[in-house]
Structure 1
Amino acid sequence: MRPTVHDIAAEAGVSLATVDRVLNDRPGVRGVTRAKVEAAISALGYVRDVAAANLAKSRVYPLVFILPEGDNPFMRGLEAEVRRAGLHSATERTRLSVACIPAFDAAALVRAIDAAIAEGVSGIAAVAIDAPEVCEAIARAQAAGIPFVTLVSDIVGSGRDHFTGVDNMAAGRTAGSLMGRFLGDQPGPVAVLAGSMRVRDHRERLDGFLAAMAAMPANRTVLPVLEGQDDPKAAFALISGCLASTPGLAGIYSLGAGNQGLVKALADRGSTDICVIAHELTADTRAALEIGLIDAVLNQDAGHEVRSAIRVLRAKADGLPVNAAQERIRLDIFIKDNLPAGPDEDEQPGPAGN
């Protein structure tokens, strides 16, 4: 049987109240008595159930999600999932809030992290931007005892506690394998539309895509990356220009957001002879799949990511282990033939078979 506080009190020869003061690091215990209690804890191998203690004290966890602002459908889906989780947060002893900042703005992310630290939150989840100043802000959060989860895009080596998102290198390789198989011997180069190479998920997807394309039997040119900042208008201009300047274009890989602009540019061209692979099943990519403008969509479940981040932050705050298998975010592949029942436009679909 696991040792209890009663066992500690008996071993140290003190009252339960004294044991409680030591466990909760409260004053009113002489140094010699504290030493006896700590020795008893060590001798008995007592491990405190922090979660149970917090439940008994009715502790509430204030958690903040820092997300990019703008009309990126996937990010708005994440925000909607956080707010949906917030409706049930009281019963789960959490209080959720969202801070939206300009996309790809490292300075704004740093300010938001520092503001959360100043508020004394119990945990921070953020879509990370790979920059030294962001790593320094994460270090400040950890120095303050605040667990930090990177969401969707990671910063390896930043000291963050956990990454919640898909394996983006594998996602890029998957896109490259699909592109190579779909195109077969069809000639022509492939274009890549990204948001920004400043975020790790976009860089990893590109690296995986290039590696998979290089392994294909056909030697195919991949054009320089078009960075649309996940902005539909910028994406529309870039893809329209690419279509006009590259008559033999064989494929397009959209590894970020801005797909509304991509779809509009493809629709304006009025042809479905280009292989197009994109990320995230939204209203725009779903409609494009249905009419053949997009061939495949790689999707991650926003709801799972939000729930996972909450579980991890609470576990870290309590000093409890994380169930790695439960927190693994899977990648779903959708084509026209396996689309799930249509969700509301501002919601992300649940997991579907791949």
Structure 2
Amino acid sequence: MPHRYPVREIARQAGVSEATVDRVLHQRPGVRAGTVLQVEQAIADLDRQRTQLRLSGRRFLIDLVMETPNRFSGLVREALEQELPGLRPAVMRARYHLRETWKPDDLVAELDTICRQGSHAVVLKAPDTPEVAAAIGRLTSARIPVITLVTDVPMSTRIAYVGMDNRAAGATAAYLMCQWLRHVSVDVLVMTSSEMFRGEEEREMGFRAAMRSYDPGRNIVEVSESDGLDETSRVLTARALREHPGIGAVYSIGGGNSGIVEAFAAADRTCEAFVGHDLGDANRGLLRSGHLTAVLHHDLRADMRQVAQTVMGFHGALPGEQRPRASGIQIITPHNLPE
């Protein structure tokens, strides 16, 4: 079976004779191990160069559709725009459809508009609902791939999910909480922004399962529908503190952490341990001030790199199928805050 590159081209790249290349390709004896490696390296170099030629001049337009607080959509947008120059010689542009809250019909209508207008891909952070899954199906039928970000819509035709393993993140939060509260008898408040986001649901499930394992007697108080916004979180936390005098620790899955801190201060209550997610400016400040004990963080730039590779792989600009890997879960404290 002929090789994908002519023997002459491989020989020129490796700096050896065509006869040597022929022996290596057919695994014949009489070639030094170092020369075999030299030929294999030449083939790998040719593969990379062919990929660069395939990418040269390719242009991709992607649409980011996100229902999330502005602080997080800003982090995602910044991460993507930092990654775009590194995609050359391919060129990728992005259109942004970002809201803190979407009416369900408006979100589906936005996805359908993109379907009619055309796009090379949709990167989606949205609730896991049948209506959203159906809209993803319509995009797929139009040959527009959908990649879910941070929170998944698994019963849909999306081609990939990019983000952390949310169950593992919740279990990590429980492990940390149990270490810090080993000698403290308090209830743990778990705050989510919405019951419709699969990623938040999985974080909570991971947290509860690990807590049952590590500290089965610990009481967990769940509060939802904060939309991840500070003012809503402040009001909901204040109510929870009045109704549950044993609350003394927080796992904030959906955000709104400044509002949670304000509610504890207004009630003159101590928070023994406070675990949140993502390294926006507000959480950085809360870490430095000691209000947040730790933040579970993942590298959004790496996520955006995986998104770009998945899009280019779908359209044949990169060889093989590009399968994203789960983002690493980083535990950030005041002492290891990244720049």
Report the TM-score, using the length of structure 1 for normalisation.
0.75
Q: Secondary structure at the match of 2:217?
A: coil
Q: Secondary structure at the match of 1:253?
A: strand
The amino acid of 1:61's aligned partner reads: F
Q: Which residue of structure 2 aligns with residue 82 of structure 1?
A: 80
Any conservation in 1 of the 2:147–2:158 contact (CA below 8 Å)?
Answer: yes
Instruction: List aligned pairs for 1:1-354, cutoff 5 A.
Output: 1-2=2-3, 55=55, 58-68=57-67, 70-71=69-70, 73-86=71-84, 91-103=89-101, 105-269=103-267, 272-318=270-316, 320-324=319-323, 327-341=325-339
The amino acid of 1:261's aligned partner reads: G
Distance 1:339 1:269 in 2: 29
Q: Secondary structure at the match of 1:338?
A: coil
Distance 1:108 1:86 in 2: 29
Q: What is the CA deviation profile of residues 33-83 of structure 1, one whole-angstrom value per residue up to 9, with x for unaligned ones?
A: xxxxxxxxxxxxxxxx99678647x34211111122643x22221122234
Q: Secondary structure at the match of 2:338?
A: coil
Q: Which residue of structure 2 aligns with residue 351 of structure 1?
A: none
Any conservation in 1 of the 2:191–2:222 contact (CA below 8 Å)?
Answer: no
Any conservation in 1 of the 2:296–2:330 contact (CA below 8 Å)?
Answer: yes
Distance 1:193 1:309 in 2: 28
Any conservation in 2 of the 1:117–1:146 contact (CA below 8 Å)?
Answer: yes
Shift of 1:291: 2.5
Q: What is the CA deviation profile of residues 93-150 of structure 1, one whole-angstrom value per residue up to 9, with x for unaligned ones?
A: 2222211245254323322221111122111111131011111111111111111100
The amino acid of 1:215's aligned partner reads: S
Distance 2:303 2:138 in 1: 24
The amino acid of 1:60's aligned partner reads: R
Any conservation in 2 of the 1:228–1:235 contact (CA below 8 Å)?
Answer: yes
Q: Which residue of structure 2 aligns with residue 13 of structure 1?
A: none
For residues 328 and 321 of structure 1, do their structure 2 counterparts lie closer, same or farther at Cα, with a shift above 3 Å needed? Answer: farther
Q: What is the CA deviation profile of residues 268-326 of structure 1, one whole-angstrom value per residue up to 9, with x for unaligned ones?
A: 456654211111122222222222212111012222222211111111121743444x6
Distance 1:124 1:50 in 2: 27
For residues 216 and 296 of structure 1, do their structure 2 counterparts lie closer, same or farther at Cα, with a shift above 3 Å needed? Answer: same
Q: Secondary structure at the match of 2:219?
A: coil
Gaps of at least 5 residues in structure 1 are: 5-48, 342-354
Report the TM-score, using the length of structure 2 for normalisation.
0.78
Any conservation in 1 of the 2:278–2:298 contact (CA below 8 Å)?
Answer: yes
Gaps of at least 5 residues in structure 2 are: 6-48
For residues 64 and 54 of structure 1, do their structure 2 counterparts lie closer, same or farther at Cα, with a shift above 3 Å needed? Answer: farther
Distance 1:173 1:103 in 2: 28
For residues 154 and 104 of structure 1, do their structure 2 counterparts lie closer, same or farther at Cα, with a shift above 3 Å needed? Answer: farther
For residues 318 and 51 of structure 1, do their structure 2 counterparts lie closer, same or farther at Cα, with a shift above 3 Å needed? Answer: farther
Count of matched residue positions in the alignment of Structure 1 and Structure 2:
295
